[in-house]
Structure 1
Amino acid sequence: MASTPTANIQPSAEKSQYHHFIPRFILRNFSYKPPKNDKNRKQYVEDMLHTIDLSGPTAKIVDTTVASTLGKVDMYRDFAKAENQQGLEKQLADLESHAGRVVAKIRKGFEAGNKDVWITRLERDTLRKFLFIMKYRSSNMHKRFCPETFEDYSADDREELLEYIRGKDFEKPIDVWFDNIKAMLELEMDPGGNWMKEIRKRAYPADAEWFVHHTQSMFMALCTPSEKDDEFLLTENGYGIHEGPVSGRVDPSTGEFTATSYTEYHVFAVISPRLMIVLRSFILPDPMEDNLQGVREFRQTMYQMCASMHANPNEAHSILADLPISRATNSYTKLMGGRLVLLNGEDGSHRANHRFCFRFFAVATDHVDRINGIMLEESYGISTIVFGSRTGAQKILESYLSAPLPAESSAESSFKTVSGKPDDPRFIFLQKLEHVAKQIGSNVVAVYRTINNTPTEEEEYEEVARVMELTPTEERGEHMQLYMRLGGSYATLMKDMEQARNMMNMRIKFDVWSTGLNEHIRNNIRENLQRIFSQLPVRRVWYYLKHVRNIALRDRSIEGSVICEGPEDVIAKVSHVIRSEDIARLMFAVILNQISLAHHPDLELYPTIISEASWRSISRSKQIAFSSAGSICDCGINEIEQKARLLRDKLQKPDYLKTFANLFLPKDAMIRHPLWSDKENIEMQTRFHTRIVFPGLVSKLEEEEDELDEVLFNIAYPCPSPFYVFNNEKKTIQAYQWINSMVR
């Protein structure tokens, strides 16, 4: 564990504690009791574990106590507090106690030979929360948050985290981690699902979304080996491992791998050597739901879309897609005609008294070997593996080490692949496993693939790209400068352009697939796809949106080149003043509104503030004006948001708006549009007043200010131009001064 600066440590009488990141109740399922000393039959005997110690230059089998295995001293201790520094560990212990009872219920049913086990919704939700927190509290996550300062935080969400902590009392990254864990522990997971809104408000948004995704986009199943000699391993990082592709790039100068995208098809939680919880993504085949053609095709399209987001889509498939599991049955539906229907008295709402029936699915040796293989593939950087029996461990090691190498184009092509360098950690790990196998009586020899050190075509291109990176900024074209401002480089250019085309093809496939469905459903699909795309690198979204505009407006004339220039370029120019998580959303808003406005050039979006003569308003104008980007108060630019929120509060008071109208607006100006809601009228007024005081509002803007005004207030958040309303520069300046005097 990283040391904590003395200046941040509060004096405390509390003693240090050994904190397990794998709870004792799980470890005990792997434990055994050593025989007592014949001379002292009352001697206390600790629960012991069979482990593989990988920490030294050679691996060895070591028997360790449950009390001292898979944990760290003071891992969850909050040294910044003057008292109750172990409070988080106590809260974790409470959750472990509740989850432990559910796991014990499942294990007892399994050991009794039952085919299934029933648990309540509360028990299921407790288990789902526990499983995510097990992943989130792991040693890998501790490494992510352990830097002593935020300046040293280097995970791929660095900018987003720095934006999140602004204005908050966090002193170190680990404070954010503790706060997130605390928020999840204290969260009440109500049957109605309001907890999803609450956690998004309470915790760091990216990790809150991860929590929601983990609990809502996967179903839970129970697996046991069908062969009596097969067992599951428990690795130090086992609760943080997933099955699914991880794409990224390796820095040739340092050898450091940076992940750019990953997909979780399966997540594993070992309960005992003979029992495992598996979480399976909803995009993988489901025998029950796949009877419906529409559902099956939708699932297949989503599956292909996830694969297409990776560097090598043909290798980005699940190696456990054929795992013979399905979701739990329940007490409120029944199967009729190949589909689930509600029982009498049920209205589709989730209730606390609902119960779920989980089968114990027997999985063949092939699947057990694949799961253990995934665990071992991710064990090259850890120090401890726990196993149930020597016989089981020998079988696992022999299967993994001797397994034939998969085809290079398969999803398993990276398994047992080493660089050939003597200090390669994966190569060293395979040697250690060979040594351990010999200790337990095996002569197995590791079969592995050594990658060719000859540069691939892509690596050669990256080398050329690195040389091109040395080109002075002023000599790069404007297009390339914008792309690089969004985080791109010459090395990523071709891949991003290719993936943007794949995104466009995916969008077209979804539109074709959904033809004939209710338009509301089709719009929901498009919005969900937009949310998914918005999480991709923003430079890729930038290219994708150029394709969208090109297709939508190829028969229409708009200013500038359709594919090369557009309002998204202005967003790229000013991206340094926009929160990183809002850049893609804002780009989507300006492109979708630009397309709508181009298709309806005569549409009057905001006649209401100008003259009572313009009373017509149609649903399309409301949609363009209010739906695409949302509120100006949430535009993603801090200075604008702060001012807009103050103005919105002022506009709630009739005296403010009345005084403003008397001072600056024509006598026939219609302040409130009769076909707009109160909220929409306030929003339009907020935009207009914000636009009046926009000059100089964002300190980091220089020559881009006029361009942002045009894009922000004519396209993303449409509202009238002050010069058009006042028709007088002097009055515009007076309004600017008056508003700033009223709203500070």
Structure 2
Amino acid sequence: MAEPARTTPLNPEYQHFVPQFILRNFAHKYTGPQRSKKGKNKKKDDNIFRGELVVNNVNLRVEPIVIEETKVKRILGQYDMYQDTALPVVQQRQIETLLGKLEAHVSTIFRKMTKAFEAGDPSVWVTREERNSIRKFLFILKYRGSTFHRRFYHETSDQYDANDKSRLRKYMEENSLKRPVDVWFHNLKTIINLNMNTENWKQELLEKMYGDDAQWFIMHSEMMYMAICTPSEAGGEFILTDNSYNVFEGPNTFVQNPTTGEFADDGWTSFHEFAPLSPKLMIILRSLLLPIPEEDSNPEIKAWREARRKEAVDDWYGASQQSSLADLPIKKARNTYSEIVNGRVQLLPGEDGAKRKTDKFCFQFFPVGVEHVNKINHILFDNAYKCTNIVFNSRDTFLKTLEWYMTYSGPFGKLVMRDFDDERRKLLENLAALMKSLGSTREAVWTESPGHVMSDFDKMNSLHRSLKRGLADWMLSANKELQTSPKPPRGPKFAYLFLGGSDITFLEDLDHATRMLKRRIKIDVRSQGMPEIIRNQNREQLTDEYLTYPSRMVLLYVKKVRLMVLGHNDEGYLQRVRNSGLPPPEEPEDIIAQALHDKMTTKKLNRLMYKTAMNDIDRAKDPISEQDLWKTPTQSLEGALRLGMIGKYVFGIPGIPEVERLASLQEQIIRRQDLNGIQGLPYHFIPNDQKMELLTRLMVKLMFHEALADSVEADLLPTLEDVLFKISYPTPPMKPPI
């Protein structure tokens, strides 16, 4: 197990990851007898005096778990959590200081909300700047918490074990950061200091902090809208846990690796996220993937939303996947620059849609019934297995909430995966015992199930999702790398850029490539039982059509074909992609795209990329060494089969159109020779046209460097030669025999 980053503060300080101003909303004054710890190990922090603010909480760190009253000052935090020991002592508290300033600012906005609610107002108005501050703070509540502390708090990158390990390590190297915790501290400072009231704040964020988490912050702020809920029943209350602000509602997939037997989170989509403000107020963040009737009356907006949902949900979990809180009665905040007319959003007269500091937003306090309150608390309970405490307000209400959670057996029930969910099972067992100790006579229920072992289909879905995430990461960083690299950078993302792609076209092109692959698969499925000659004609016609598309789409298409074919046939390839989330660097089609994108017609370039990639995939499926490739097969059934493979590899791409002038000149020389008298060529039995093809390749290869030296980057030329003469047009490793 990785060791945490070490801290050696002179005076340990208790630092909250849930701010005290929120905890005070759950608090009451202590009325019991004065409590103090006696003996030589007593600490001032252990004392509780009458009138001191405390919260009711379930202490999950003890066995058996118990209900306690704990001081607001000493719950939902850790000692020296944000202490940066790499800095001089006087600067080590800078993160805590910045968090304190942000809390002081946002607490006034939240206090305005709670005052309006307590006064019985149906809604509260906030300015655009206040709303932006809230959105920033809600992400900070997520990012500063114990979940991210566990993720980042290590001394070396080797100890970091999240699924973005390779990308984080690269970021650390590029920015001279020694510890993962340095990345966390830097990101926290960057977000806290970010001015979200400028037009270019997103670009600024991407340039200044770790890209994965910058994108997450942007998605959190831009792809979800905020609403405020309150229980409609007088006794209804929300609970608060360590990780309340990290919890989401939506589909996720845990799968078992058939090789190792280990389970892992294979993907997730967030429909709703939660931010408890008090027992009576809960901020809900709802994904823009879910319908918004007043916006969806615009066909273009509706089509955009449906396309994004298909991409994020339907393609991975099925079109039937729904949010368990889809019927939560919330809406987007209204504002001062638009109105709803006949169920459709319209700008007010004189408004042009520009964002202004003077804009204001009206947030309603949406009353939600006991069913929805229970569902939200259910989600928080369900994710409390790594928590230290569950904070609540009223004991009577908490028992009812706990009893509902522990005895609920509907479709939204509790699932424990055997041999994986030991922590979750332990929490449920402890909560069941607590429920009994509080006087309940009801029996706790939950379902135990084996983990889901990945099928081939699941593997491919996972691989495609990993590939898409990885390539999206590449594209977002491409412009920065192009600007800072001392020489033209190389790799798949730059191949895509060289072919005319951009971060704007990327996702659309990726979707198009996915549809191309599905259409290609359908051709085979629908033609089953037909003569193979007809099936091949159908495939060739479709391929010919594809090769007229923009080259950047063809590039993405062949990568999807490679992933599909080798994902089924090459476990090593599959495992590499799963581990890294990215395809191998510089596949043959990438080299061709980078070297020849401006030297050939689109149709010729597309055909060369496609044929080369297919040749490379075939050889990866049925590996054959370079030495064996040029041996004459024996006269046997095995030899006949190998001859068929060789013919496909060697002569599957006729001619060398990319160096046509060279090839034409050499062919004229060869035609003057007696091909039957030439010695030394492999496959002495092949017809003269194939002998001429091999001789042409041999002679062109000799002059290849000289012919392209002025038009292809020097460091790219040897790699291009390998691709063309080993994969595109396999050429014998010999000197021309003429």
- Partner of 1:75: helix, strand, or coil? coil
**What is the match of residue 740 of structure 1?**
none
Alignment counterpart, residue 355 of structure 1, candidates 360, 372, 376? 360
Alignment counterpart, residue 213 of structure 1, candidates 210, 215, 219? 219
**What is the match of residue 29 of structure 2?**
33
**What is the match of residue 176 of structure 1?**
183
Alignment counterpart, residue 322 of structure 1, candidates 314, 319, 327? 327
**What is the match of residue 312 of structure 2?**
306
Alignment counterpart, residue 418 of structure 1, candidates 413, 416, 441? 416
Distance 1:78 1:546, change over 3 A: farther
- Partner of 2:505: helix, strand, or coil? helix
Query: 1:244 touches 1:316 (CA, 8 Å); kept in 2?
Result: no
**What is the match of residue 132 of structure 1?**
139
Alignment counterpart, residue 23 of structure 1, candidates 19, 37, 41? 19
Alignment of 1:485-524 (within 5 A): 492-493=459-460, 496=463
Q: Which amino acid aligns with 1:22?
A: V
Distance 1:80 1:28, change over 3 A: same
- 1:128-147 per-residue CA deviation (whole Å, 9 max, x = no partner) reads 00000111111111111123
Alignment counterpart, residue 57 of structure 1, candidates 63, 82, 86? 63
Distance 1:439 1:37, change over 3 A: closer
**What is the match of residue 397 of structure 2?**
392
1:360 deviates by 0.4
- Distance in 2, matches of 1:65 and 1:176, equals 32
- From the CA coordinates, give the structure whose radius of gyration is larger: 2
**What is the match of residue 712 of structure 2?**
691
Query: 1:404 touches 1:447 (CA, 8 Å); kept in 2?
Result: yes
Distance 1:386 1:252, change over 3 A: farther
Query: 2:28 touches 2:53 (CA, 8 Å); kept in 1?
Result: yes
Q: Over aligned residues, Cα RMSD in angstroms?
A: 4.6
- Distance in 2, matches of 1:404 and 1:550, equals 54
Distance 1:50 1:193, change over 3 A: same
1:65 deviates by 0.5
Query: 2:510 touches 2:556 (CA, 8 Å); kept in 1?
Result: no
**What is the match of residue 116 of structure 2?**
109
1:379 deviates by 1.1
**What is the match of residue 684 of structure 2?**
none
**What is the match of residue 645 of structure 1?**
none
- Distance in 1, matches of 2:725 and 2:209, equals 33
1:31 deviates by 0.3
**What is the match of residue 428 of structure 2?**
430
Distance 1:437 1:542, change over 3 A: farther
Alignment of 1:32-181 (within 5 A): 32-35=28-31, 45-83=51-89, 84-181=91-188
- Partner of 1:345: helix, strand, or coil? coil
Alignment of 1:212-611 (within 5 A): 212-251=218-257, 256-310=262-316, 312-313=317-318, 316-406=321-411, 412=412, 415-419=413-417, 424-451=422-449, 453=450, 458=453, 492-493=459-460, 496=463, 527=505, 529-530=507-508, 553-555=543-545, 566=558, 601=603
- Partner of 1:691: helix, strand, or coil? coil
Q: Which amino acid aligns with 1:54?
A: L
Query: 1:552 touches 1:595 (CA, 8 Å); kept in 2?
Result: no
Query: 1:500 touches 1:544 (CA, 8 Å); kept in 2?
Result: no
- Distance in 2, matches of 1:557 and 1:94, equals 58
- Distance in 1, matches of 2:229 and 2:461, equals 43
Query: 2:467 touches 2:582 (CA, 8 Å); kept in 1?
Result: no
Q: Which amino acid aligns with 1:692?
A: E
- Distance in 2, matches of 1:550 and 1:526, equals 31
- 1:560-612 per-residue CA deviation (whole Å, 9 max, x = no partner) reads xx999958899999x999x97886999999999999999954899xxxxxxxx
- Distance in 2, matches of 1:709 and 1:336, equals 66
- Distance in 1, matches of 2:368 and 2:541, equals 48
Query: 2:592 touches 2:720 (CA, 8 Å); kept in 1?
Result: no
- 1:211-238 per-residue CA deviation (whole Å, 9 max, x = no partner) reads 1110001110000011111111101110
- Distance in 2, matches of 1:139 and 1:116, equals 32
More divergent stretch after superposition (332-341 vs 192-201): 332-341
- Partner of 1:362: helix, strand, or coil? strand
Query: 2:54 touches 2:72 (CA, 8 Å); kept in 1?
Result: yes
| Paired residues, number | 548
- Partner of 1:219: helix, strand, or coil? strand
- Distance in 1, matches of 2:401 and 2:170, equals 46
Distance 1:381 1:547, change over 3 A: same
1:316 deviates by 3.8
1:321 deviates by 1.1
Q: Which amino acid aligns with 2:459?
A: T
Alignment of 1:581-730 (within 5 A): 601=603, 691-695=712-716, 706-707=722-723
1:373 deviates by 0.8
Distance 1:305 1:373, change over 3 A: same
- Partner of 1:370: helix, strand, or coil? helix
Query: 1:150 touches 1:172 (CA, 8 Å); kept in 2?
Result: yes
1:199 maps onto 2:205 in alignment:
yes
- Distance in 2, matches of 1:287 and 1:133, equals 30
Identity of aligned residues (%): 34
- Partner of 1:57: helix, strand, or coil? coil
- 1:449-487 per-residue CA deviation (whole Å, 9 max, x = no partner) reads 122x5x97x56x68xxxxxxxxxxxxxxxxxxxxxxxxx
More divergent stretch after superposition (155-164 vs 66-75): 155-164
Distance 1:132 1:446, change over 3 A: same
- 1:528-558 per-residue CA deviation (whole Å, 9 max, x = no partner) reads 7348869xxx9x9997898799996344779
- Distance in 2, matches of 1:200 and 1:498, equals 22
1:59 deviates by 1.4
- Distance in 1, matches of 2:273 and 2:301, equals 23
Query: 2:266 touches 2:462 (CA, 8 Å); kept in 1?
Result: no
Distance 1:186 1:404, change over 3 A: same
Gaps of 5+ in 1: 407-411, 463-489, 502-522, 605-686, 697-701, 712-744
1:422 deviates by 11
- Partner of 1:52: helix, strand, or coil? strand
1:296 deviates by 3.3
Q: Which amino acid aligns with 1:29?
A: N
Distance 1:705 1:256, change over 3 A: farther
Query: 1:323 touches 1:363 (CA, 8 Å); kept in 2?
Result: yes
1:292 deviates by 3.4
Query: 2:5 touches 2:153 (CA, 8 Å); kept in 1?
Result: no
**What is the match of residue 186 of structure 1?**
193
- Distance in 2, matches of 1:569 and 1:134, equals 42
Distance 1:118 1:601, change over 3 A: same
- Partner of 2:384: helix, strand, or coil? coil
Distance 1:600 1:255, change over 3 A: closer
Distance 1:694 1:366, change over 3 A: same
- Distance in 2, matches of 1:354 and 1:688, equals 59
Q: Which amino acid aligns with 2:52?
A: E
TM-score in terms of structure 2 length: 0.65
- Distance in 2, matches of 1:174 and 1:109, equals 40
Q: Which amino acid aligns with 1:272?
A: S
- Distance in 1, matches of 2:576 and 2:464, equals 22
